[in-house]
Chain A
Amino acid sequence: MAKHVIAPVDELPPGTRKFLTIDDRPIAIFNIKGEFFGLLNRCPHQGAALCEGPLIGLAQSSDPGEIEYTKLGEIIRCPWHGWEFDVRTGQSYCDPRRFRVKTYQAHVEPGTSVVKGPYVAETVKVAVESDYVVVEL
């Protein structure tokens, strides 16, 4: 793992992002409310430039018509098919429960759901050292 200095912290204020290539890998660094996160700029679905998408919040609902909207600015929508990924963790929300393929005779099991999707965007380790944003790759 090597450390790559990206930019002074001032150049990446909260709500902004920076695109770069390190060792042929397209990467984007995000400043989410003062914290830095990195993602590989490639959607695990069909390879789109994921990090060029808009940032929104996470819409969830415990009852139709009611929307709990959290994580504002932390969810990125892929510019192609609009799949949602958590910038902090790369976790997708496009397919909230893990799809279980039933065998011909089995039953659907009720119970608590795994609320995350089966796709995960690749994250990149980012740190701040002496007022510089540093990526470890």
Chain B
Amino acid sequence: MTSPLPGGVDCDLHPAVAHLTSLLPYLNDYWRDQVTTRGMVDLVSQSYPTRSPISSRPDWRPAKGKPGERLIDMQSQALDPFKVAYGILNPLYGVQMVFSEDMQDAFCRALNDWLAKEWLDKDARLRGSIVIPTQSVEKSVAEIERCAKDPRFVQVLMLVMGDVPLGKRALWPIYATAERLGLPIGIHAGSAYHNPPTSVGWGSYHIEDYVAQAQAFQTQLTSIIVEGVFARHPKLKMVMLESGFTWLAPFVWRLHKFWRGTRMETPWFDRPPMEIVQSNIRFSLQPVDAPPDPVVLNRLFDHMQSDELILFSTDYPHWQFEDEKALPEGLSADLVHKIMIDNPYATYGRLKQTATAA
């Protein structure tokens, strides 16, 4: 087994909201009453059905309630065993599926407040991602600015399958705000289901939707690069979370090849795409979509031409590996150090700041 190093950062943990009613204390009177009087139910995304095997490793699944619902479980099952200095929380509560911008904004604010109060306040290792109401760019910017006052929020969270491709200029005020505040944008697997969850329509199965996440990350990476997000915002980093990464090199080869013939269409895209990936894009470790063969894995890392791209993650409580085998076999000690420690700290600037609640 490739042993983890203490003092690292787990860049993808999922605290679960027990039920929509858990957010009631964090909603104002109007929304509290809307939830109860209209009988609103839990916001569970089809991307992660609660009892799906991917949603929780069997030994992490509690007898009652949702996986990842209790801090004490996350501590004993993820934070402590991997001896991390920090764990970054990415709530996957289904707020992105909501269509009304006002409702979505209310729920996002409540969710972010819930995260601070019930998680960040309770374990000094924990850091949070700001979940934003993507139905409104203006409200998203406001929510980022509000939550960023708390230095324990270290990232802005969006889904890979949203309403529009992430490179579209209408979204750029979000990126401008994040860049200004030193926050990476975390793009996580999952869909708002406002578009078919694949690029060729609606499939039949949950397994199909899950496989399709990787293709969605690919099209989003194309969008972000060709639209010139980093030409406008060179200091911004985007982190692909639960995306897989073994598709990266051939994807870049293809993008580079077409770029040469269509350059005039997007002349602000003026650096080779692999350079842009290396300067501005990162990937969380899980899932590792590769055979358990060190030779193959090391070839894949060679193809990526950089040891700075991968950030350690367990993807807790999702089921991506057994026991403590989060790190694949065959990684050099140097690479483990980069993945667990150097790369996360280089990506999340706020980790080095003192963390006191605002």
Q: How many residues on the B side are at the interface (Cβ–Cβ under 8 A)?
A: 25
Q: How far is the CB of B261 from chain A (nearest CB, A)?
A: 4
Q: A63-B268, A64-B169 are in contact. Are A96 and B232 (CB under 8 A)?
A: no
Q: Is B270 an interface residue (CB 8 A)?
A: yes
Asked whether A67 is an interface residue with its Cβ less than 8 Å from the other chain, the reply is: yes
Given A59-B267, A108-B279; A81-B231 close (CB under 8 Å): no
Query: Which chain A residues (50-70) contact chain B, with CB distance < 8 Å?
Result: 56, 59-67
Whether B260 contacts A108 by the Cβ 8 Å rule is no
A83 touches B261 (CB 8 A): yes
User: From residue A73, how far is it (CB to closest CB) to chain B in Å?
Assistant: 14
A8 at the interface (CB under 8 A from B): no
Closest Cβ neighbor of B278 among chain A residues: A108
Minimum CB–CB distance for B299 against chain A, Å:
13
A4 and B305 CA atoms in complex are apart in Å by: 50
Q: Which residues of B contact A112 (CB under 8 A)?
A: none
The reply to whether A99 and B169 contact each other, CB–CB distance below 8 Å, is no
A104 CB contacts on chain B under 8 angstroms: 302, 305-307
Instruction: Tell me whether B227 is interfacial, beta carbon within 8 Å.
Output: yes
Taking the nearest CB of chain B, how far is it from the CB of A106, in angstroms?
9
- Given A64-B169, A113-B271, is A102 in contact with B305 using a C-beta cutoff of 8 Å? yes
| Complex interface bits, B189-224 against A, C-beta within 8 A gives 1, otherwise 0 | 000000000000000000000000000000000000
Q: A96-B270, A108-B278 are in contact. Are A64 and B231 (CB under 8 A)?
A: yes
CB <8 Å contact, A64 and B227: yes
Q: Mark B297-328, 1 if CB is under 8 A from A, else 0.
A: 00000100111000000000000000000000
Q: Are B169 and A59 in contact (CB-based, < 8 A)?
A: no
Q: Which residues of A85-110 are within 8 A (CB) of B?
A: 93-97, 99-102, 104-105, 108, 110
Contact of B270 among A56, A102, A113 (CB under 8 A): A113
B264 touches A64 (CB 8 A): no
In the complex the two chains form, what is the Cα distance from A80 to B307 in whole Å? 36
Given the known inter-chain contacts A64-B228, A102-B305, please indicate yes or no for A95 contacting B272, CB distance below 8 A: yes
Q: Taking chain B's interface residues, is the majority helix, strand, or loop, or is none over half, making it mixed?
A: helix
Residues of A close to B149: CB separation below 8 A:
none
CA distance A105 to B260 in the complex (A): 27
The answer to whether residues A64 and B268 also contact, given A83-B260, A83-B261 and a CB cut-off of 8 A, is yes
Within 8 A of A (CB), among B267-293: 267-268, 270-272, 274-275, 278-279
Contacts of B263 in A (CB 8 A): 59, 84, 93-94, 96
Determine the distance from Cα of A71 to Cα of B279 in the docked complex, in whole angstroms. Answer: 31
Residue B262 CB within 8 A of the other chain: yes
Task: State the Cβ distance, B2 to closest chain A Cβ, in Å.
Answer: 18
**Which chain A residues lie closer than 8 Å to B305 at the CB level?**
101-102, 104
Q: Is A15 an interface residue (CB 8 A)?
A: no
Contact A97 B169 (CB under 8 A): no
Instruction: Determine the distance from Cα of A128 to Cα of B4 in the docked complex, in whole angstroms.
Output: 73
A59 vs B274: C-alpha distance in the bound complex, in angstroms?
Answer: 22
Further contacts, 5 of them, CB under 8 A, given A66-B268, A94-B261? A63-B268, A82-B262, A96-B263, A97-B275, A113-B270
Nearest 9 Cβ contacts at the A-B interface: A64-B228, A61-B268, A82-B261, A81-B261, A61-B267, A59-B267, A94-B260, A64-B268, A96-B270
Residue numbers of B with Cβ under 8 A of A are: 169, 227-229, 231-232, 259-264, 267-268, 270-272, 274-275, 278-279, 302, 305-307
B-binding residues in A (CB < 8 A) = 56, 59-67, 81-84, 93-97, 99-102, 104-105, 108, 110, 113, 115
29 A-B residue contacts at CB 8 Å? A56-B264, A60-B267, A61-B228, A61-B267, A63-B231, A63-B268, A64-B169, A64-B229, A64-B231, A66-B268, A82-B264, A83-B260, A84-B264, A93-B263, A94-B260, A94-B263, A96-B263, A96-B271, A97-B271, A97-B272, A97-B275, A99-B272, A99-B274, A101-B305, A102-B278, A104-B306, A108-B275, A108-B279, A113-B270
